[in-house]
Amino acid sequence: MLYEFGLKTERQNFYNITGKVMEALTKSGIKEGIVLVFCPHTTAGITINENADPDVVKDMLLGLDRAYPDRAEFRHMEGNSQAHLKASAVGSSQYIIVENGRLVESRKNN
């Protein structure tokens, strides 16, 4: 089963899509299995991370920006090579295990 949704984004940010994934899971009726969350855009990625403290996301934006800064040597006309690099670093997809109709998460979120 394939569920699609679009998301309008800023130039750079993290967006919590857990609700969308859970919604699709509920619709599917699947109780045991695996969810693949895939983003077909090559300047965006999917990652699993903490959302309890919003500072984690701010720190991650900063850390990724420093690991893959915009470089004077970059030649791609669209000027978004940095975004392509970050997308490859973070990855296009994530898999989450489903047990009893729920996403398997860490018991203790750290």
Measured between alpha carbons, how far is residue 4 from residues 11, 34, 65, 79 in Å?
Answer: 22, 16, 29, 28
CA torsion, ordered 35, 90, 82, 77, to nearest 10 deg: -40
Provide, rounded to whole angstroms, the least separation between the CB of residue 26 and its own copies: 20
Looking at the Cβ atoms of 30 and 74, the one nearer to its own copies is: 74
Q: Does 28 bind its own copies (CB under 8 A)?
A: no
Q: Which two tokens stand for residue 11?
A: 């130039």
User: In the complex, which residues of this chain contact its own copies (CB under 8 A)?
Assistant: 2, 32, 34, 36, 38, 40-43, 47-50, 53, 55-56, 58-60, 62-64, 66-68, 71, 73-78, 80-82, 84-85, 87-97, 99, 104-107, 109-110
